[in-house]
Amino acid sequence: MTIVRKTVAAGDGLEFVLSDATVDRYGDVIEASGWVLTWFKQNPIALFSHSASFPIGRWEDVRVEGGKLLARLALAAAGTSARIDELRSLVEQGILRAVSVGFRPIEWDPIDPKQPYGGQLYKKQELLECSLVSVPANPAALALAKSLQISDDTLTLAFGEHAGRGDGLRRRGSTGEHAAPPPVVRNPTMKTLSQRIEDAQTALVTKKDKLSDLTAADAPDVIAIEELTAQIDGEERSLAALKAAELKIGAGVAPTGTTPAAPAVNRRPLGFPQREVGGLDLLVRRALIHACSLYSERSVEQIVEERYPGHEATAMVARAAAPLGTTGNAGFVAELQQVTYAGFLDALRGKSIYPVLRERGYGVSFDAAGTAYLPQLTAGGANGSFFAEGQPIRVGRVTVTAPTFTSRKMGVIIPFSREAAKRSTPSLEGVVRKAILDDTSAVLDTHLLDATAGDSIRPAGLLYGVAPAASGYGGGDHVAVKEDFKALLKPFFDAGAADGITVVMNPAQGLSIAMMDGPANNAGWFAEIAKRVNIVESTHANAKRLVAVRNSDFATALGDLPEFEVSNQATIHMDDANPAEIVATGPAPAAPVRSFWQTDSMGVRMIMDVSWKMARTGMVSWIDNTSW
C-alpha cells in the first residue's frame, strides 16, 4: 500500500490546519472534500515525526471546514514523561509549529495530463496518521530551543541528529590561519573497521528479514514498514561508506612491495539461516538488479553485493542468462528453475483462477519447438475387467495423441522512473511484484473467461462455442442459488462427468451468498453445495455469471520460465486496449507514446509462454444473469 506524507504550515495555538488545497512543495494538490476520516476518527492518535513508538497525544474535532482539514491537538498531560514535558514546552513556545499527514491515495489524476509523473491532484484519500513535526532547517527555532535548556535527546528527536552537537565548523584564528581541527581521541576498546562492517552486515540482514516478515503479514503495519524501510536505506548507505573507507585504507597503508589487505567479504553471520525467497521474488530481484546496474552503470555483481549481500540464490539468478540452464551448476539451476516457476504460480494464487485450474487439471510443458501434446483415450468402455486364469484382460480404449498445443506469448510491461530505481530495494521490489501479479492475473482471467475464438495470438476463451445452459433464476434468494447451480451442473450429470467440477464466480456473488438468509433451521445450506464442487473467485469474472469447468478436461501448457528484461531506451505505446505499432505514418500511428530515454525512465517487461484448451467438448457450462 502506498503512503504519502505531506507537511503543512503552522497551527494557531493547538488548532492545526492538517491539509488544504494549496500546491505543496512537490507540486501536488489535495482536495479537502476527498478526505476519508472514518477509520482515523476511531483512533486519532497524534504521533511525533511519524514514529509509531512515540505517541504524544490525540487529535480532537477532526473535520473538513472551509476547504481545509482541521483538528485540535490535545497533548498528553504534563508529567507523563520528561520528553513529553519538553515537547509541550517546544509547542507552547511556538517552536514546533508544523504537522504532517500520512494518507493512502484512492483516486488521483495528474494536474497536467502532458506530465503524468508531475504534480498530482488527489481527489480521494484516506487519512492514516498525523504527526507533529519540526520545521526542516530552521536554525532560529533550534537556537531558541537550546536556550530553553531542552535535553540533547529531545533536540535530536525534534531537529535531527546534529541538533545536540556543535556546529562542526573550522574557524579562523587570530593569525588569519585556519585553526587546526580538534585532535581525534581514540577509544582503546574501539572496534576495528572490519568488525564494524561485519556488525553492519548483521544488522542489515536482520532488518531485511524483519521487513520481509512485516510485508508478508495478513494485516501489514504500514507505518512500521515505512520506518523500517527508511532505516534499511540509511544502513545500506552506511555499509557502503564503511566498505569504501576500507578500500581506501587498504590501498593507502600497504608497504611497498606488499599486497594491500583484502576488503571484508560479505558473509552471512554465523547462526543466521538464509531466508527462503519465493520464486517470483527471485525473478523480480533479477530484473531490478539489472535495472539498477543499467541506470548506475555498475556491474551486476556490484549491485548484488550492495543490495543482497550473501544471498546465493539471488546472486545465481542475477548472473544467469535466460534461460537459467546456461549457468555452470546445471543440477542446481534446474532445481532453481522449477522452484521459481512454482513460486510464480503460487504467488498468483488468490489473484487469478489460472493456478487453481492448472493444479486441478492436466498441466504439460512446451518442448523446444514451442509445442505440447495432450494424450487422450479413444471412445469405449473401461480398460479392465475380472478375468479367469489364462484369460485376457478387457481393453476397450487406446491412448492416442491429440492435436498439439502451440505456445502463445503473454506479456506485461511495468514502467518506472529512474528516481524510483534509486529508492530502497524492498520498496521497489514490492511495487514491481504487485504490478506484475495484478497485471498478469487480469490478462489471464479475462482471456480464460471470455468467448473469443483462438488465433495465432491468443488461446480460445473457455466459453467459445459453448451456449449458456440456462438464464439465471429469479428471486435473488437461496432458492435462486440452488436452481442456478442445478442448471449449471446438469450438462455434466447428463454426460456422466459430474466429478471434479470447479465453479468460477465473482467475489460480489460470493459475498451475496455469505450474507444471504437460508431456509429455516438450515444455516449451512450452501456448505452442502460447496462440498460437491470447487469454488474459486476472480475479480475479473462477470458479476452476473457462473462458469463451471471439469478439472480433468482442462489442459494447459507453460514454457520454461517467465522472461524478464529491462530497457531504458524503448519507446512504448501507452494504450491498455489496442496498442499499435510505433510508426510515424500509416493507417493507425500509435499515440500517445512514451520514450524511456527521453523521460529518464525504464521498464521491466515480463513474457511467459502459455496456452490452454479443453480436452473434450461439453466440459464447460455457464449461465448468465444470476439474480443474486
**What confidence tens digit (pLDDT) does each residue in 448-495 have?**
999 999 888 899 999 999 999 988 899 889 999 999 999 999 999 998
> How many distinct structural domains can be found in the chain?
5
544 touches 468 (CB < 8 A): no
pLDDT score recorded for residue 335? 41
pLDDT score recorded for residue 506? 93
Does any domain span residue 173? Answer: no
> How is 550-611 classified by DSSP, letter by letter?
EGGGEEEEE-SS-EEEEESS-EEE--SS------SSSSS---SEEETTTTTEEEEEEEEEEE
Q: Is residue 456 located within the same domain as residue 584?
A: yes
Q: Which of 197-201, 213-217, 452-456, 589-593 has the lowest mean pLDDT?
A: 589-593
Q: Is residue 26 located within the same domain as residue 152?
A: yes
Q: Is residue 42 located within the same domain as residue 8?
A: yes
Query: In terms of pLDDT, which residue wins out, 486 or 309?
Result: 486
- At 380, the pLDDT band (50, 70, 90 cuts) reads low
Looking at every residue in the chain, the average pLDDT score rounds to 73
Q: Is the pLDDT at 405 greater than 90, yes or no?
A: no
Q: Is the pLDDT at 228 greater than 50, yes or no?
A: yes
pLDDT score recorded for residue 581? 62
Query: In terms of pLDDT, which residue wins out, 173 or 32?
Result: 32
pLDDT score recorded for residue 330? 38
- At 596, the pLDDT band (50, 70, 90 cuts) reads low
Task: Output the nine-digit C-alpha cell for 133.
Answer: 513535526
pLDDT score recorded for residue 280? 65
Task: Output the nine-digit C-alpha cell for 324.
Answer: 537459467
Q: Is residue 232 located within the same domain as residue 299?
A: no
In this structure, the strands spanning 51-65 and 68-75 are: antiparallel
Q: Is residue 357 located within the same domain as residue 390?
A: no
Q: Which of 41-50, 96-105, 395-404, 474-483 has the lowest mean pLDDT?
A: 395-404
In this structure, the strands spanning 371-372 and 405-406 are: antiparallel
Q: Is 387 helix (H, G, I), strand (E, B) or coil?
A: coil
pLDDT score recorded for residue 106? 86
301-317: average pLDDT: 67
- At 269, the pLDDT band (50, 70, 90 cuts) reads very low
Q: Report, in angstroms and rounded to the nearest whole number, the Rg of the chain calculated over CA atoms.
A: 31
Does any domain span residue 141? Answer: yes
- Smallest Cα–Cα separation from 286: which of 438, 415, 425? 425
Best-predicted range by mean pLDDT (140-149, 348-357, 430-439): 348-357
Q: Is residue 356 located within the same domain as residue 494?
A: yes
Please report, rounded to a whole number, the percentage of residues in the chain having pLDDT higher than 90. Answer: 14
Query: In terms of pLDDT, which residue wins out, 517 or 335?
Result: 517
- At 527, the pLDDT band (50, 70, 90 cuts) reads confident
Position 326, amino acid: T
Does any domain span residue 260? Answer: no
Q: Is residue 286 located within the same domain as residue 361?
A: no
Q: Is 180 helix (H, G, I), strand (E, B) or coil?
A: coil
Q: How many CB atoms lie within 10 A of CB 552?
A: 15
Does any domain span residue 262? Answer: no
Does any domain span residue 175? Answer: no
- At 340, the pLDDT band (50, 70, 90 cuts) reads low
**What confidence tens digit (pLDDT) does each residue in 59-86 have?**
999 999 988 888 888 888 888 888 888 8
Please give the Cα distance from 372 to 341 (Å, whole number).
18
Q: Is residue 105 located within the same domain as residue 198?
A: no
- At 325, the pLDDT band (50, 70, 90 cuts) reads very low
Does any domain span residue 61? Answer: yes
Q: Which of 259-263, 373-377, 414-418 has the lowest mean pLDDT?
A: 259-263
Does any domain span residue 168? Answer: no
Query: In terms of pLDDT, which residue wins out, 329 or 411?
Result: 411
Please identify, among 159, 175, 204, the residue that sits at the C-terminal boundary of a domain. 159
pLDDT score recorded for residue 588? 52
For residue 373, the enclosing domain spans 367-406
Does any domain span residue 261? Answer: no
Q: Is the pLDDT at 301 greater than 80, yes or no?
A: no
**Residue listed under C-alpha cell 440456462:** 470
Q: Is residue 588 located within the same domain as residue 456?
A: yes
306 touches 314 (CB < 8 A): no
Longest dimension (CA), the chain: 119
28-51: average pLDDT: 87
161-188: average pLDDT: 41
Q: Is residue 314 located within the same domain as residue 424?
A: no
Task: Output the nine-digit C-alpha cell for 172.
Answer: 579562523
Please give the Cα distance from 549 to 381 (Å, whole number).
23
The vertex-244 CA angle with 202 and 308, nearest 5°, equals 40
471 sits in the region (left: phi over 0; alpha: psi -120 to 50; else beta) called beta
Please identify, among 216, 237, 252, the residue that sits at the C-terminal boundary of a domain. 252
417-419-424-430 Cα dihedral, nearest 10 degrees = -20
Q: Which of 372-381, 510-519, 543-552, 612-621 has the lowest mean pLDDT?
A: 372-381
Q: Is the pLDDT at 346 greater than 70, yes or no?
A: yes
- Smallest Cα–Cα separation from 86: which of 28, 36, 152, 164? 152
pLDDT score recorded for residue 144? 42
Q: Is residue 116 located within the same domain as residue 223?
A: no
527-548: average pLDDT: 91
Q: Is residue 242 located within the same domain as residue 384?
A: no
pLDDT score recorded for residue 175? 35
pLDDT score recorded for residue 505? 93
Task: Output the nine-digit C-alpha cell for 435.
Answer: 504490478
Q: Is the pLDDT at 263 greater than 50, yes or no?
A: no
Position 94, amino acid: G
Residues near 575 by Cβ (< 8 Å), separated by ≥ 6? 590, 592
Please give the Cα distance from 334 to 136 (Å, whole number).
53
- At 537, the pLDDT band (50, 70, 90 cuts) reads very high
Q: What CATH number is associated with residue 476?
A: 3.30.2320.10
